[in-house]
Amino acid sequence: MVVWELSKPLSASKHNYKYRLYFGRAGQCLVRYDNEQGKGDHVHYPECEIPYQFISLAKLVADFEGDIQKVLRGVQ
């Protein structure tokens, strides 16, 4: 997990954070939350990419950790 606090929001974001939260193994991304200039907040899964509604840093981390648990339950 990497989070930067910015002086102003990126375009397509309403908050002052730039972040990337990554979970993967064996070179495969299983879950990644990030925001990009012009693209905004979104989540990457192996089969798709979907928009993410940023509420707070605490919620972001909780959602990311929840997705990790779902992946682990599905893999085991």
Looking at the predicted structure, is the pLDDT value of residue 16 above 90?
A: yes
Between CA 73 and CA 76 the distance in angstroms is: 5
pLDDT of residue 38: 81
Q: What pTM, to 2 d.p., does this model score?
A: 0.89
Looking at the predicted structure, is the pLDDT value of residue 12 above 90?
A: no
Domain layout of the chain by residue ranges: 2-75
- What is the pLDDT averaged over residues 9-32? 93
pLDDT of residue 37: 81
Between CA 63 and CA 76 the distance in angstroms is: 20
pLDDT digits (tens, 9 = 90+) for 22-74: 999 888 999 999 998 888 999 999 999 999 999 999 999 999 999 999 999 98
Q: Characterize the bridge pairing of strands 2-5 and 40-45.
A: unpaired
| Band of pLDDT at residue 18, cut at 50, 70 and 90 | very high
